[in-house]
Amino acid sequence: MRATVLHGARDVRIDDVPDPRITAPTEAIVRISAACICGTDLHPYGNMDPAEHPVRIGHEFMGTVEDVGSEVTTVKRGDLVVAPFVYSDGTCQFCQAGLQTSCTHGGFWGALGVDGGQGEAVRVPWADGTLVALPPTDDPRLIKSLLTLSDVMGTGHHAALTAGVRRGDSVTVIGDGAVGLLAVLAARRLGAERIILMGRHISRTDLGREFGATDVVAARGQEGIEQVRELTNGHGTRAVIDAVGFLAAYEQACGVVRAGGVISRVGLPQYEQAPLGVPIWFNNVTLTGGIAPTRAYIVELLPEVLDGTIEPGKVFDRTVDLDGVPDGYRAMAEREALKVLVTP
Amino acid sequence: MRATVLHGARDVRIDDVPDPRITAPTEAIVRISAACICGTDLHPYGNMDPAEHPVRIGHEFMGTVEDVGSEVTTVKRGDLVVAPFVYSDGTCQFCQAGLQTSCTHGGFWGALGVDGGQGEAVRVPWADGTLVALPPTDDPRLIKSLLTLSDVMGTGHHAALTAGVRRGDSVTVIGDGAVGLLAVLAARRLGAERIILMGRHISRTDLGREFGATDVVAARGQEGIEQVRELTNGHGTRAVIDAVGFLAAYEQACGVVRAGGVISRVGLPQYEQAPLGVPIWFNNVTLTGGIAPTRAYIVELLPEVLDGTIEPGKVFDRTVDLDGVPDGYRAMAEREALKVLVTP
């Protein structure tokens, strides 16, 4: 079959790779009908070490079950399914607690002999714990929204949920990428009244307004902090969501959070050390968030996607086939595209 | 009157200072009957910059109201009162939310012309927001426990509360100072089942066991982390309380917290930057805590202190009069005393 392989920084190729086949009775093979390129994929795309071997890539996908191992009970051949961006056994204490990203048998797509998501098919370890069966559909708008349950919608929800967003709340969302925009949607869904979106790409922040942002602040750094404080009587917002992951975004979050408030970080941190001394401590600021266990949220969010209450699929603004994937990476890296859908 | 003044590193003196007098209608004068020396006092005691002017010191006290301004309504002359370690107006939005440490008119004892707590008397700004009236008592054991509501008991409670400790929980407490031991007591009070106390002073950890610690780990660093992990099937505890404030304690906390767990920091951080990258994020660890708004907790904890359900005053193991304060500092700095009571 054909699949996306990252050969080096800015060197994405579509290669012939071995067809996936079941190697354990808990596995399934899924023929991919829709996948996407993620902001996180841009980190290895931009910085892959020349000494590294080529790697399979892609971690968001949906498709049709083509084969299942003898112990798989929750999905069957022909089912339309969506996969979260981490696979998990569904039975360990962390999975039972809804923290599937810490599953004792879990792992990442594209690593350790497991297929990546940007290809024709994928072998799914722990199919029962990982896959969620969906009602059949060929509606392209619905498919886009269902696909966001794999990562970006669930990640936005994780941000709002761990930040404790509740009715009447005030929230700042830092970052106008797909996760930031869907964090706006998630915060609105949980009842936030004031949502300040910090981002500088007008087409994106316009979508953020459509998702529920009440204010947009384009300025960054100290200027951006001051603008948010001006909008909030000098105190900042109770909740702040960092949907970026760079140190500057974290510092911005520290600057706009209200005393006693919460910063939730869902962007993969691009730093090891960060300010964590007296200012944060003196203001009783809580830091939370982390990698989102989206598997835990698919079932909760699915009904509202199916009935159109939320339409997170609006973040997709470009569609490519497998041959178009390399250009899809380029377009996302150059911020020409917000989120690229891949239809193999 | 006489009061404690810090003149430089390891130079504590009892000086004659002006008698306090009321300067605003919201103030009160309290004649101090019991005060104490805090672990936080040891930081300026050990490291005061030679270029600094002498400063008044002490932030935990109780005593008798001697005079009140015309607008004070909740305490009157002759009342026995306890003060939290930060004064606050009691009316701003932060005070109303129970975060008196962020009061818009609040501040610290011993700073900006306000008296310190280790003296004969103190002018109390915002007496209604700050002081809590107590039933009269001359029982020395009860007085010790009431005095801990000023800081160390409330700080231990803040640690356990912000860590979300609940019935059946597992908790690691790092540090066997007064706050660490009272965090053990607070965690037990909230229903924790497993409490691992990390500390190396046997007389202190014995008191920790009396307060509810189920296990004691004397080892530090990587060895200590491994011992806690061995006690917890390799996963660590759900809650971790850092009652120390040094970077090594934070790193130890990161090593013993379970995925999806919480680290609550109540020790004043002695660092500016700390590890906050992928490991914490990948494990969905929440960092919380901060300076404790003990004013918020006095009323809640008071009944259990009065009826003897909890006896936090056991942390005091030495009593001095004002002249004994310098030696009290020395004894605490050299870890000869756990917590020193001052009876002016």
Regarding whether B307 and B230 lie in a shared domain, the answer is: no
Which pLDDT value is given to residue B308? 97
For residue A283, which residues of chain B lie inside 8 Å, CB to CB?
Answer: 102, 290
Mean pLDDT of B300-314: 98
| Chain A: closest CA distance from residue B144 (Å) | 27
Burial of A17 (0-12, 13-18, 19+ CB in 10 A): middle
Q: Report whether B100 contacts B63 (CB < 8 A).
A: no
Is B259 an 8 Å CB contact of chain A?
Answer: yes
Residue burial B57-75, b: 16+ Cβ < 10 Å; e: rest = bbbbbbbbbebbbeebebb
Q: Report whether B108 contacts B158 (CB < 8 A).
A: no
Q: Report whether B261 contacts B169 (CB < 8 A).
A: no
For residue B94, which residues of chain A lie inside 8 Å, CB to CB?
Answer: 259-260
Question: What is the count of structural domains for chain B?
Answer: 2
Is B250 an 8 Å CB contact of chain A?
Answer: yes
Regarding whether B171 and B143 lie in a shared domain, the answer is: no
Contact B260 A99 (CB under 8 A): yes
Which pLDDT value is given to residue B24? 98
Is A162 an 8 Å CB contact of chain B?
Answer: yes
Give the residue from B183, B262, B321, B71 showing the smallest Cα distance to A289: B262
Q: End-to-end CA distance of chain B, in Å?
A: 11
Give the residue from A81, A74, A57, A68 showing the smallest Cα distance to A147: A81
Regarding whether A110 and A21 lie in a shared domain, the answer is: yes
Of B250, B278, B288, the CB nearest to A269: B278
pLDDT > 90 fraction of chain B, expressed in percent and rounded: 98
Report d(CA B187, CA B191) in Å as an integer.
6
Is B299 an 8 Å CB contact of chain A?
Answer: no
Contact B284 A289 (CB under 8 A): yes
What are the tokens at A10? 């800015």
Is A271 an 8 Å CB contact of chain B?
Answer: yes
Instruction: Quote the Cα angle for A60-A62-A65, to 5°.
Output: 135
Q: Report whether A81 contacts A103 (CB < 8 A).
A: no
Residues 6+ apart with CB under 8 A from A226: none
| Chain B: closest CA distance from residue A331 (Å) | 27
Regarding whether A142 and A13 lie in a shared domain, the answer is: yes
Residue B267 Cα distances to A86, A115, B35, B81, angstroms: 36, 46, 20, 26
Is B44 an 8 Å CB contact of chain A?
Answer: no
pLDDT digits over A218-249, tens only? 999 999 999 999 999 999 999 999 999 999 99
Residue burial A293-310, b: 16+ Cβ < 10 Å; e: rest = bbbbbbeebbeebeeeeb
Q: Is the pLDDT of residue B50 over 90?
A: no
Regarding whether A62 and A27 lie in a shared domain, the answer is: yes
Burial of B229 (0-12, 13-18, 19+ CB in 10 A): middle
What are the tokens at B288? 């919380």
Q: Tell me the average pLDDT of chain B.
A: 97
Q: How are strands ordered across the β-sheet holding A11-16?
A: A11-16, A2-8, A55-56
Is B102 an 8 Å CB contact of chain A?
Answer: yes
Which pLDDT value is given to residue B68? 98
Residues 6+ apart with CB under 8 A from A112: none
Is A234 an 8 Å CB contact of chain B?
Answer: no
Regarding whether B163 and B136 lie in a shared domain, the answer is: no
| Chain A: closest CA distance from residue B245 (Å) | 9
pLDDT digits over A41-64, tens only? 999 999 999 889 999 999 999 999
Report d(CA B63, CA B230) in Å as an integer.
47
Helices (H), chain B: 42-47, 93-96, 127-130, 140-148, 152-162, 178-189, 202-211, 221-231, 247-256, 278-282, 295-306, 325-333
For residue B269, which residues of chain A lie inside 8 Å, CB to CB?
Answer: 276-278, 281
- Comparing alpha-carbon positions, the chain B residue that sits nearest to A260 is B99
Is A316 an 8 Å CB contact of chain B?
Answer: no
Report d(CA B136, CA A2) in Å as an integer.
82
Beta-carbon neighbour count of residue A201 at 10 Å?
Answer: 14
For residue A278, which residues of chain B lie inside 8 Å, CB to CB?
Answer: 268-269, 272
Mean pLDDT of B304-317: 98
DSSP B289-313: E-S--THHHHHHHHHHHHTTS--GG
Contact A282 B265 (CB under 8 A): no
H or E, element range at A328: helix A325-333
Q: What is the CATH number of the domain that holds A246?
A: 3.40.50.720
Which pLDDT value is given to residue A50? 87
Looking at A253, A270, A289, the residue that finishes a domain is A289
Regarding whether A192 and A255 lie in a shared domain, the answer is: yes
| Chain A: closest CA distance from residue B76 (Å) | 32
Regarding whether B145 and B120 lie in a shared domain, the answer is: yes
The range of the structural domain enclosing residue B317 comes to 2-151+293-342
Q: What is the largest CA-CA distance in chain B?
A: 61
Contact A287 B289 (CB under 8 A): no
Residues 6+ apart with CB under 8 A from B328: B37, B318, B320, B337, B340, B342
Contact A269 B281 (CB under 8 A): yes
Burial of A332 (0-12, 13-18, 19+ CB in 10 A): buried
| Chain A: closest CA distance from residue B123 (Å) | 24
Residues 6+ apart with CB under 8 A from B48: B6, B8, B9, B11, B55
Q: What is the CATH number of the domain that holds A10?
A: 3.90.180.10
Regarding whether A162 and A276 lie in a shared domain, the answer is: yes
Place of tokens 């066991």: B209
State residue A207 phi and psi, 5-degree precision.
-65, -35
Contacts of A248-255 with C-beta under 8 Å, sequence gap 24+, read A248/A220, A248/A221, A249/A174, A249/A175, A250/A274, A250/A275, A250/B276, A251/A275, A252/A174, A252/A198, A252/A220, A252/A221, A252/A224, A252/A225, A253/A172, A253/A174, A254/A279, A254/A280, A254/A285, A255/A222, A255/A225, A255/A228, A255/A229
Regarding whether B176 and B90 lie in a shared domain, the answer is: no
Amino acid at the residue B236: G
Q: What is the largest CA-CA distance in chain A?
A: 61
Contact A277 B271 (CB under 8 A): yes
How many helices, marked H, and strands, marked E, lie in chain A? 12, 19
Looking at A255, A273, A289, the residue that finishes a domain is A289
| Chain B: closest CA distance from residue A134 (Å) | 28
H or E, element range at B274: strand B273-275
Report d(CA A106, CA B273) in Å as an integer.
32
Low-confidence ranges of chain A (pLDDT < 50): none
Looking at A289, A317, A332, the residue that finishes a domain is A289
Regarding whether B36 and B146 lie in a shared domain, the answer is: yes
Q: End-to-end CA distance of chain A, in Å?
A: 11
Amino acid at the residue B194: R
Give the residue from A292, A289, A296, A19 showing the smallest Cα distance to A130: A296
- Comparing alpha-carbon positions, the chain A residue that sits nearest to B292 is A284
Of A259, A272, A291, the CB nearest to B275: A272
Classified as helix, coil or strand, A171 is strand
H or E, element range at A145: helix A140-148
For residue A102, which residues of chain B lie inside 8 Å, CB to CB?
Answer: 259-260, 283-284
Which pLDDT value is given to residue B112? 87
Q: Report whether B121 contacts B163 (CB < 8 A).
A: no
Contact A281 B269 (CB under 8 A): yes
Regarding whether A170 and A130 lie in a shared domain, the answer is: no
